[in-house]
């Protein structure tokens, strides 16, 4: 069997501080406890700060996403309104153009018919006048031959 060395324990040394007697072993324990407490406090503070930063970043991201969503909805609504207005304007303009073209065509038809009627009447009158003159001339010629 292997015999392990026994640890050597040094006796605590007493020191006098402000009327209190402390031993060096107690002093070392106090330092270790203080270091551990400070380390725990630092870790807790770091964890809290990191948690606050993470929460702040998440809140900022949520707000940014909400603003972007609202902006996209507004853009889509504006685009749809513009499209609807353009379609309505195009339809109204097309209807107005169709009405104007129909009126112009109707007026042109009336004018053409009126011109044709006037031309026909003038031709008929000229033909009648020519026939009357011819008949009169023939009648006059026939009387003069007699």
Q: Report d(CA 123, CA 130) in Å as an integer.
A: 10
Residuewise pLDDT in 10s, the chain (146 residues):
566 666 555 555 555 555 555 555 555 666 777 888 889 999 999 999 999 999 999 999 999 999 999 999 999 999 999 999 999 999 999 999 999 999 999 999 999 999 999 999 999 999 999 999 999 888 888 777 66
Q: 72-106 as b/e, with b when 16 or more CB fall inside 10 Å?
A: eeeeeeeeeeeeeeeeeeeeeeeeeeeeeeeeeee
* pTM for this entry: 0.44
Beta bridge partners, 119, equal none
Q: Report d(CA 79, CA 72) in Å as an integer.
A: 10
Contacts of 23 (CB under 8 A, 6+ apart): 12, 13, 14, 15
pLDDT at residue 137, as a whole number: 87
């Amino acid at each position: 069997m292997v015999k392990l060395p026994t640890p050597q324990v040094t006796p605590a040394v007493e020191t006098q501080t402000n009327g209190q007697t402390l031993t060096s072993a107690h002093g070392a324990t106090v330092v270790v406890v203080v270091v551990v407490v400070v380390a725990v406090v630092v870790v807790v503070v770091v964890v809290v700060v990191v948690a606050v930063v993470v929460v702040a970043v998440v809140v900022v991201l949520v707000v940014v996403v909400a603003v972007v969503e609202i902006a996209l909805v507004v853009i889509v609504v504006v685009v749809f309104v513009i499209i609807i207005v353009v379609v309505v304007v195009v339809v109204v303009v097309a209807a107005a153009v169709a009405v104007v073209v129909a009126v112009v065509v109707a007026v042109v038809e009336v004018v053409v018919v009126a011109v044709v009627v006037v031309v026909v009447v003038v031709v008929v009158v000229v033909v009648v006048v020519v026939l009357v003159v011819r008949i009169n001339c023939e009648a006059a010629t026939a009387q003069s031959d007699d």
